[in-house]
Amino acid sequence: MKRSIIFLAFAAMMAFPACAPKEAAPVKKDMCIQMYSARSILNHDNYAEVLKTIAGMGYTAVEAASYDGDQGLIYGDTPEVFKQKVEAAGMKVLSAHVSRGLSPEELASGDLTAALAWWDKCIEVHKAAGMKYIVTPWMGLQSSIHDLQVYCDYLNEVGRRCQAAGIKYGYHNHAYEFEKVEDQVMYDYMLEHTDPALVFFQMDVYWAVIGKASPVDYFERYPGRFTMLHIKDEWEVGQSGMVGFDAIFKNADKAGLQDFVVEIERYKHDDILVSFKESAEYLLTAPFVKATYSK
């Protein structure tokens, strides 16, 4: 009788092991992808399907890079349809890169009337698409402090109009902003002559390093100004060893980070989606990258 009881207890343990290992839940982090990264394979007809594939890798949001200012379209669609397609792919609309440079005449006169009218329509379109942010991706190395100041005034006014529409406005750098205009570093001048309440900076950490600047040093000097970061590397994210992503993310609070965007400009793989997956895996498994930075 005793043996029968022991046997039944053992059988029950085998059928329902008390310490059965649980399958680990997939890691989830807020990760936006810059759609420009997929420019070689994206078009109006397929971007929703491509985004669905990218969402399956762990990316959660998109930053658009295809605004038609004449037609008011994003990737060839109305802003409402663009938003629907992104959300149907399992992602959300976060931000957009949009640029409207100033002509030599506008720089000389300081008359921004036409440029700001362009922005009024742009802001309306991107609000309809559900954008949290609009970012100007470049403005060119300026030839004088006068022209640079006109641009700073311009950025402030665009930021004011975005703010009125409930959208945050920022500026994205390349490497040349770390060069000098007259006797001042262009990036520093922009940080010091734009209103923090109206203009944030989306630091592209790779281009900062290429410009021989330290992202963390800038976080120290201008705390809270870097609401967004572009997380980018020479190739796939985390593979070059030249960008200190651990130090960058460990100083995210000092930077003022709320959202980061992955951008891949160059690829080691013929299939660029492999590059997307490798970059996502690096960030998803990196212990120094938090699940979210949203406040």
Specify whether the backbone of 223 is left (phi greater than 0), alpha (psi in -120 to 50) or beta.
beta
Q: What is the pLDDT of residues 152-162, one digit of tens each?
A: 999 999 999 99
Task: Give the pLDDT confidence score for residue 110 in this predicted structure.
Answer: 93
In this model, does residue 46 exceed pLDDT 60? yes
Quick check: pTM over 0.75?
Answer: yes
Q: Which domains does the chain have, with CATH numbers?
A: 28-285 (3.20.20.150)
pLDDT band at 25 (very low <50, low <70, confident <90, very high): low
Using a pLDDT cut of 70, give the percent of the chain over it.
Answer: 91
